[in-house]
Homo-oligomer: A and B are copies of this chain.
């Protein structure tokens, strides 16, 4: 699907504030509100915009402990398998297959160290996991939602 410069700007504005009105966006991109709505509808329908979400301070909700866990998997493990398995754990906020020694990298978020340990144990219980290597997050310095500065086109 083709997205033009106006779409880009609309996306950037929605990433900055998902509750902005179509009229507001319209004035910023020189379009009428219905025109903006049609574009947003199209972007949602084609999957460019996956949805709208609230950005919550994890500490405020009590999920304050984070870790990155490298997963070493059994010989014939597919990415899809890892995806399905990791998605089952609510503590998993990110999972990626990666190059290098490990097969996958899993981003965990939990209430505290005890909760994190429990989640890790559960993860290690997955049949295809042969071993893990954890890295505890000491502090979160940057965490952009969305796709980063989507106003830029590289």
Which residues of A are at the interface with B, using a C-beta cutoff of 8 A?
Answer: 1, 3, 8, 11, 14-19, 46-58, 60-63, 66, 68, 79, 82-83, 86-87, 90-100, 102, 104-106, 109-112, 115, 135-150, 152-154
Contact = CB atoms under 8 A, between A and B. Distances in A.
Given A18-B19, A142-B83, A56 B49 contact: yes
Contacts of A62: 153-154
A109 B145 contact: no
Given A19-B19, A53-B53, A98-B138, 16 more contacts: A15-B53, A48-B61, A49-B54, A50-B55, A53-B146, A61-B153, A79-B139, A79-B141, A92-B142, A94-B143, A94-B144, A95-B140, A96-B138, A97-B138, A97-B141, A98-B137
Given A139-B79, A143-B94, A148 B63 contact: yes
A73 B114 CA distance: 29
Contacts of A144: 92-94
A120 B98 CA distance: 17
Q: Label chain A's interface by main secondary structure.
A: mixed
Contact of A139 (B16, B97, B135, B154): B97
Nearest to A100: B135
Contacts of A148: 63, 90-93, 109
A138 B148 CA distance: 19
A143 to B, nearest CB: 5
A91 to B, nearest CB: 7
